[in-house]
Amino acid sequence: MDLKYNDSQRKEYFKNTQRIGGSWVRVFEGDEEFYSSAYWDLLTNIWMKDGPVRKTDALRFMTNIKSAHTAGKYVETAIAKGILIEEDNPGDARSKLLRLSPEMRGRLDEFFDGCVRDIRSCVRRIATLGPTPDEP
């Protein structure tokens, strides 16, 4: 295997990943219940959609959760905590829509803004720790 980066560079990337994880917990004001890949998948995918999503689609966002019932428990917790808002679907009375609460949307916008800032800094630090291969 032809490795492209040295241990210091890989460790710098890992430290950046740890910082992002810590920032994710701060999005929820330290509530570690949400430090979970299920919530990461659910909330980031809803954030990416820029609008309401069908509840059944949101349940499928949690790819590590195989049971729709279990995924539903995660969704219900997020609704109860005010992170998600559930509403009737005007286009289909048989389904519900989920959207991020305005406060959570703002928190995630700030979180991702910080992630972009952090990754840009990380790239600069990695470059100082050794040679970096040219991009393909």
**What architecture is domain 7-128?**
Orthogonal Bundle (1.10)
Q: What distances in angstroms separate CA 11 from CA 16, 17, 23, 55, one per listed residue?
A: 9, 10, 18, 39
Tens of pLDDT, residues 72-113: 999 999 999 999 999 999 999 999 999 999 999 999 999 999
Domain ranges for the chain, please list them.
Answer: 7-128
Which pTM does this prediction carry? 0.88
Tell me: pLDDT of 20 over 90.
Answer: yes
Q: How many CB atoms lie within 10 A of CB 126?
A: 19
